[in-house]
Structure 1
Amino acid sequence: MATTGSGQRARRGTRPVPAQRDGHDDRRGDDGRDESRAERIDRELMELLNELRVALPGVQFLFAFLLVVPFQQATERATDFQRDVYFVTLVAVVVATALLIAPAAQHRALFRQHDKEDLLRRSNRFAFLGLCVLAVAIVAAVVLVVDFLFALPQALVTGGVVAVLLGWLWIGSPAVQRARGGADDE
């Protein structure tokens, strides 16, 4: 371990967190909060983990549903297309589950490693990718159910509507807000 200019210890391969700016401890962040950089990183990491706690029950419910479906008698009359969509849905839910649980698992595995900023960046990417893959799983599940109960044309239209809705709510609307300057870039 090396020491930084402020006397703080830094692990090899990590960037030291500056304790002072311009000779004084500036605790006011870009968003107007009175917190140090380390406090901001801690807060943002906890916010991210709490957000994932909201998403995970839905993913787990969809996963459980998909695990039960093959054991129902009605699956005997499933078409090849429906089986393919089921497979895509199942794989997407597994990947989404892995990505959405990864931040909590890595937070625990890297406990007291003093590299929360890197963990936060990585966890944010995992969460975003997990939500994108979850959107694929939701759309595919809707297509599967509507095709099974009604017909393929209705399934494709309904799946398209759900895809547009999720795309707008999860990506489009935040992107517009960010472009207008209403969201923090980090």
Structure 2
Amino acid sequence: MTGDQAPRRRGRDETEEERADRMWGELIQEVRVAQTGVQILFGFLLTVVFQPKYDSLAHADQVLYIVTVFLGAATTGALIGPVSLHRLVSGRRVKPQAVRLASRLTFVGLVLLVATTTCALLLILRVATHGGFVPWLVALVVAWYLLCWFVLPLWTRRRYTAR
């Protein structure tokens, strides 16, 4: 083929291991951001039960609190999981597989984070306002999360990924 007929080259010239190293570094940076937020939220949630007002909460709000704490614990596990995975398989020549698994754990963690923050917001707004508009506000915030965290990234991937 002549110069103008050569196929256009896309992507990076890297081995599978080099790609896994790069993707691992990017993934860990992303996880650090999410981990910080969920750890602060989870830490705050753990203190609520020890507040004097907790006993006066309606039964439904106490159940919502327990569900929120459970989701926060699950989110924390999913988002810290990639760090543990890396530590336990480091040096075993399985980084490409570890990156794929860590990426899945991170995605699960983000889904759980949507659920955790939704429940926390619902609980806080129910206790703070007792207003009938609370579910609508929470639905609006959830829609915003879904747009920012999933819809726009998936739209970008679909639109700009080579076919």
* 1:154-173 paired onto structure 2 within 5 Å: 154-173=133-152
**Structure 2 residue 141 is matched with structure 1 residue 141:** no
Letter matched to residue 135 of structure 1? V
How much does 1:152 deviate?
4.9
The two structures, once aligned, show a CA RMSD in angstroms of: 1.6
Q: TM-score, normalised by structure 1?
A: 0.79
**Structure 2 residue 68 is matched with structure 1 residue 82:** no
How much does 1:74 deviate?
1.1
Distance 1:54 1:130, change over 3 A: same
Instruction: Measure the CA separation in 1 of the matches of 2:161 and 2:111.
Output: 20
**Structure 2 residue 113 is matched with structure 1 residue 101:** no
- Structure 1 stretches of 4+ with a deviation exceeding 4 A read none
The one of 116, 135, 154 equivalent to 1:175 is: 154
Whether contact under 8 Å (1:147, 1:155) holds in the other structure is: yes
Single out whichever of 121-130 and 150-159 deviates more from structure 2: 150-159
Instruction: Measure the CA separation in 1 of the matches of 2:150 and 2:92.
Output: 32
Unaligned runs of at least 5 residues, structure 2: 1-8
Instruction: Measure the CA separation in 2 of the matches of 1:77 and 1:42.
Output: 52
* 1:117-128 paired onto structure 2 within 5 Å: 117-128=96-107
Whether contact under 8 Å (2:16, 2:96) holds in the other structure is: no
Letter matched to residue 59 of structure 2? D
How many residue pairs get aligned? The number is: 155
How much does 1:116 deviate?
0.7
Q: Which residue of 2 aligns with 1:55?
A: 34
- Secondary structure of the 1:34 match is coil
How much does 1:156 deviate?
1.0
Q: TM-score, normalised by structure 2?
A: 0.89
Which one has more relative contact order, counting CA pairs under 8 Å at least 6 apart? 2
How much does 1:58 deviate?
0.6
- Secondary structure of the 2:93 match is coil
- Secondary structure of the 2:13 match is coil
Instruction: Measure the CA separation in 2 of the matches of 1:70 and 1:103.
Output: 30
Q: Which residue of 2 aligns with 1:8?
A: none
Instruction: Measure the CA separation in 2 of the matches of 1:56 and 1:184.
Output: 31
Instruction: Measure the CA separation in 1 of the matches of 2:63 and 2:117.
Output: 15
Unaligned runs of at least 5 residues, structure 1: 1-28
Instruction: Measure the CA separation in 2 of the matches of 1:153 and 1:183.
Output: 43
Q: Identify the structure with the greater helix proportion.
A: 2
Q: Which residue of 1 aligns with 2:5?
A: none
Amino-acid identity (%)? 30
Q: Which residue of 1 aligns with 2:4?
A: none
Whether contact under 8 Å (2:76, 2:109) holds in the other structure is: yes
